[in-house]
Amino acid sequence: MTTARDLALVALGMPRDQRVERGVLSLALAGAEAIDLLERGALTLDGDRMVPGPQTATGDRFLDQAFASLVRQEPYETVEDWLWRRGLELAAAYLDDLERAGLIARPRGRGLRLRSASSAPADSPEHSRAEERRASGEPVLTALIVAAKIADEPSETGDSLDGDAVTPVVAAVGDAVTQLEAERLRRGIEDAAFDNVWRGFV
């Protein structure tokens, strides 16, 4: 299992009163893919620029797709730009794949809601390993969960990411999620103002 798949399973297993927006999860999954590529030596960072490594097969379909989509011309792509580009509809792709593999049972309806037993991950070794990784405070998964605001800041467990090569990716995920939330808030305010003006003409 990859970090992205573990992250998706953990997100789906959150309590019913917590939900993950599709766009937020997509950004976090893109960040998880970048981290997996870094750890496999398929990618390095030059500042915030993503420099592809030599051609390699990761053994995972999504990671192979992610590697193939890396920009291979200087000045290369920034981590932030990668998150927005690669993250487009990525959550839906992962959830469809997990559902086909029998690892989740997704309820009918619109949107991505993490609620009720019907949308919880299936009882599987994959889900158990993902939850064990989270429960142990494994630094990378924990940092992504916090950056995507899937859960609150945990107590100090596991090792710190300080000085780790993945730190810029985790930071970029947090910044992108904050930007997405700010944009949604701005649109909500504009929509509310429009509704108030419209009611004034009725």
Which DSSP string do the residues of 28-90 spell out, in sequence order?
Answer: HHHHHHHHHHHHTTSEEEETTEEEE-S----S-HHHHHHHHTS--STT-EEHHHHHHHHTTTH
Per-residue pLDDT tens digits for 44-75:
999 999 999 988 888 999 999 999 999 999 99
Higher pLDDT, 183 or 189: 183
Q: Which residues pair with 43 in a beta bridge?
A: 52
Higher pLDDT, 169 or 201: 169
pLDDT score of 132: 95
Q: Which residues pair with 44 in a beta bridge?
A: 51
* Residue of 35, 14, 26 whose CA lies nearest to 94: 26
pLDDT score of 113: 46
Amino acid identity of residue 178, one-letter, is T
Percent of the chain's residues with pLDDT above 70: 80
Name every residue whose Cβ is closer than 8 Å to that of residue 67 and which is 6 or more positions away in sequence: 37, 42, 43, 52, 56, 58
Residues 13-29 have a mean pLDDT of: 86
**Cα(134)–Cα(143) distance, integer angstroms:** 10
Name every residue whose Cβ is closer than 8 Å to that of residue 143 and which is 6 or more positions away in sequence: 161, 166, 170
